[in-house]
Amino acid sequence: MEPLGGSEVFLFDVFRLDPRGEGLLRRDEHSVFVPVAIGSRALDVLRVLVERHGDLVSRDEINAAVWPGMVVEDSNLPIQISALRRILDQRRAEGSCIQTVAGRGYRFVATVTRRVADWASGAAAGSNGGGRPHLSIVVLPFINLSKDPDQEYFADSITDDLTTDLSRISGSFVIDRSTAFTYKGKAVEAKQIGRELGVRYVLEGSVRRSRDQVRVTAQLIDAETDAHLWAERFDGNTGDLFVLQDEITRRIAVALDLELIAAEAARPAENPDALDYLFRGRATLLKPPSPDSYAEAISLFERALAIDPRSAEAQSWLATALADRVHVNMTGTAAADLARAEGLVRRALTASPRLPQAHFARGRVLRAQGRFEDAICEYETVIASNRNCAFAIYEIGQCKFLTGSMKEAIAPVEQAIRLSPRDPYISSPDISNGVGASGSRI
């Protein structure tokens, strides 16, 4: 099967499918498209069916596109189809949009309209004058170091899921897995890959399974200098491989989000543009909180906004920083900070109603105002777009605690710690007085 067109989006019923961008979205009662929580495998199956809407697509064709080179159980595809139907057919009167042709395959029968993705026309602009885009990365196929060649599917699955998860990092440009897998089994230097694909970073790794234990290693390489920026290993028990795979990919994605932001912020630039200032501001928020560090971050975000006054990202990050320093009692102008943050969030959501950072910033403002239940709704919206946002998950636990739901607070806080176990902000005991941790990031 031919790779899907990366620059197209597909509209059908009340849904919008953006394969390389925002994923699956549903139009709400205000005619605004909002993200739909959907697994990466189900999303891939949907991509295949929608791309060939009206055609009968065999099970073998779908399996080859979604699980390339892997041996999967016969029940895997029907499970994903069932999950899709639960989402797509909720308010559909004329039957399922996915038709089963017994013994042959599936057909997507809803009317589909193709459009060029919004981001495609601006891709060149994001490349900073024709160079490599900010936060551009390719995830190379992870190497199977196990003696059993049948474990190849597990390494490939981790590669696929990491590609999907990293594409959710704001401002990222991630090479599609179809291109990445052309390097499988080839000894090619990171510099060459960077030149061929036009990316700044290369992520590579390996998987080793021994009896009931699995070790996954990953390392991030600067494709311009061939320098190793970050490396980590992750160990787990194979009692449930799918749960283990999910946890490992989440943890790597969370760690890489921080490393990539720090690496971008450290890059020298004589004339930084708005995105450079955003990266530097985000990196500054990761420093130990102090009045000076907040002032520096706010100044950097303000510079980004001065360059691009309509940037919803800059508005959202500036609002986040303002709300954060209120949370940690490091401002003498709390009321003014919150009022300004609220205005910035309103502007950001008006321009970009699905932007996760804008919803996160609004959650911070609402929490500072004591509106904890409303804040939880905003954080849940963030997680629907980015399941790896450990801090949004942590904030839900904080808000649950502050509403008196002590038992309900435990699970999200534990999940956040599992996602980002070395995060000093997540482990900070601030729930006793309602003061939040800084270093917010999406």
20-67 residue pLDDT tens:
667 888 887 666 667 787 877 888 899 999 999 889 999 999 988 888
Mean pLDDT of 418-437: 53
At residue 423, does pLDDT exceed 50?
Answer: yes
Rounded distance between C-alpha atoms, residue 340 and residue 346, angstroms: 10
| pLDDT score, position 171 | 67
Rounded distance between C-alpha atoms, residue 358 and residue 283, angstroms: 18
Task: Provide the token pair at 431.
Answer: 């729930």
pLDDT single digits (tens) 215-244: 888 898 988 888 888 888 888 776 666 677
pLDDT single digits (tens) 150-166: 678 778 888 888 887 78
Rounded distance between C-alpha atoms, residue 324 and residue 153, angstroms: 43
Pairing status of strand 113-116 against strand 8-12: antiparallel
Task: Provide the token pair at 350.
Answer: 């008006």
| pLDDT score, position 428 | 52
Residue with more model confidence, 216 or 271: 216
| pLDDT score, position 6 | 47
Q: Which residues contact 393 (CB under 8 A, 6 or more apart)?
A: 379, 383, 412, 415, 416, 419
- Cα–Cα distances in Å, from 97 out to 53, 100, 102, 108, 384? 10, 10, 16, 6, 23
CB atoms within 10 A of CB 335: 9
Among 41, 32, 34, 249, smallest CA distance to 24 is for 34
What backbone phi and psi angles, to 5 degrees, belong to 138? -125, 135
Q: Which residues contact 423 (CB under 8 A, 6 or more apart)?
A: 390, 416, 417, 439
Positive or negative CA dihedral for 265, 269, 272, 273? Answer: negative
Among 401, 398, 402, 433, smallest CA distance to 416 is for 398
Contact 142, 159 (CB under 8 A): yes
Question: Following CA atoms 343, 346, 349, 350 in sequence, which dihedral angle do they give, to the nearest 10 degrees?
Answer: -120
CB atoms within 10 A of CB 434: 15
Rounded distance between C-alpha atoms, residue 189 and residue 244, angstroms: 30
**What is the percent of the chain with per-residue pLDDT over 90, rounded to a whole number?**
23
| pLDDT score, position 431 | 35
Residue type, 75: S
Among 358, 340, 360, smallest CA distance to 350 is for 358
Q: What is the CA radius of gyration of the chain?
A: 22
Task: Provide the token pair at 36.
Answer: 């739909």
pLDDT single digits (tens) 323-339: 999 988 899 999 999 99
- How far out from the chain centre does Cα 253 lie? 8
Pairing status of strand 213-222 against strand 113-116: unpaired
pLDDT tier at 441, thresholds 50, 70, 90:
very low
| Strand order through the sheet with 98-101 | 56-58, 105-108, 98-101
Mean pLDDT of 385-401: 85
pTM exceeding the 0.75 threshold for the entire prediction: no
Taken in order of first residue, the domains within the chain and their CATH numbers are 8-116 (1.10.10.10), 128-265 (3.40.50.10610), 274-419 (1.25.40.10)
Task: Provide the token pair at 154.
Answer: 């597990």
